[in-house]
Amino acid sequence: MKQDWFAKNYRNPQLARAEFERTLDVYDKVAEAKPLRLRIAKPMKVNNSTAYFERITDCINLRKLICNIRVDTEVLYYTGQALAELHSALNPQINCLDENISIHGDFSATNVLYMPSKNLIYIVDFAPYRYDNSESYSYAPAYRDLAHLVLTLEIKYPIYKIHLVARKKNREMSAMFWEGYENVIGRKIDRDKLYEFVIKEIDSTKKLFRKRHLLTRFVWTKVFDRTMQRYINLKES
Ligand SMILES: Nc1ncnc2c1ncn2[C@@H]1O[C@H](COP(=O)(O)OP(=O)(O)O)[C@@H](O)[C@H]1O
Ligand SMILES: [Mg+2]
């Protein structure tokens, strides 16, 4: 029988407790905000180096979904709406996208699950972004989460799916994601600021790729450079 909890193991009990407690705080604030699109898996208990969460069922991982040839971009719109609901729930006083607020911090497609039967979005993994040792990983402008998803939507495809990086659809997915966010947050995202953050995210992630397999590194470096250049041109246009 399939267990109704999801067990997540960590390197040590401190990390398990840190993520468990952060998720509990997020869960309570989101429950209070009564969002329409967003759901958080309920944290159940923590025991040594393992944290237990409510198991999410009947969902598709967004990363898996975008690796298909055909993608329904509506899901990206829902993802943007869910992220705006998360930011609003965590920061009820939010009035400007420039200020530092409590954000997700590692908003990549693997941490987004879509439930087709109810059109709901689960956001998971409220752990520190593993490449970022700074204390402020989850306290930054909303633009950070909005820019970070571009890495998965437009660049980091598995090597056996590398033909997908050239898809026009990838850019449409980013655009739909930002539109969904604007729809819920009720104001326009400053595109120049957003592109600045995208360029920053691409640049800092590119630097961390030295340890990858040679072929992956070669291909991804090209895609990193091309995507970054496109955003530089957009910013300057
Ligand atoms: N509560 C849950 N129920 C079901 N699946 C989950 C749950 N939380 C995460 N997952 C799945 O497990 C994967 C890894 O979990 P995640 O918390 O993101 O760990 P990691 O820190 O290793 O990225 C996610 O990408 C998601 O597909
Ligand atoms: Mg994850």
**149-198 tens-digit pLDDT:** 999 999 999 888 989 998 999 999 999 999 999 999 999 999 999 999 99
Question: Whole-prediction pTM value?
Answer: 0.94
Angle at 110 between CA 223 and CA 171, to 5 degrees: 40
The model's pLDDT over 25-50, given as tens digits with 9 standing for 90+, comes to 999 999 999 999 999 999 999 999 99
Cα–Cα distance measured from residue 198 to residue 232, given in angstroms and rounded to the nearest whole number: 9
Report the percentage of the chain scoring pLDDT > 70: 94
Q: Whose CA is nearest to atom 17 of ligand 1?
A: 125
pLDDT band at 79 (very low <50, low <70, confident <90, very high): very high
Q: Whose CA is nearest to atom 5 of ligand 1?
A: 56
Superfamily of domain 60-236: Aminoglycoside phosphotransferase (APH), C-terminal lobe (3.90.1200.10)
Ligand 1 center to 125 CA (angstroms): 6
Q: pLDDT tens for residues 136-145?
A: 678 899 999 9
Pocket test for ligand 1, best of 2, 3, 67, 125 (most atoms within 8 A of CB): 125
**Predicted local confidence at residue 209, as pLDDT:** 73
pLDDT at residue 63 greater than cutoff 90: yes
pLDDT in the model for residue 129: 47
Checking if the pLDDT of 59 tops 80, the result is yes
| Distance (Å) from CA 72 to ligand 1 centroid | 22
12 pLDDT band, cuts 50/70/90, is: very high
pLDDT for 204 beyond 50: yes
- What pLDDT is attached to residue 1? 55
- Take atom 15 of ligand 1 and give the residue whose Cα is closest: 125
Confidence (pLDDT) at 131: 44
pLDDT over 80 (residue 210) = no
Q: What's the rounded mean pLDDT across residues 101-108? A: 93
Number of CB atoms found within 10 A of residue 30's CB: 20
Q: Which atom of ligand 1 is nearest to the CA of 53?
A: 1
Question: Mean of the per-residue pLDDT values for the chain?
Answer: 92
Inform me whether the pLDDT recorded for 135 exceeds 90. no
**Ligand 1 closest atom vs CA 55:** 3
What is the per-residue pLDDT for 128?
58
* Binding pocket residue ranges, ligand 1, CB within 6 Å: 6, 8, 41, 53-56, 61, 110-111, 124-125, 127
Mind listing the pLDDT tens digit for each residue in 124-133? Answer: 999 754 445 5
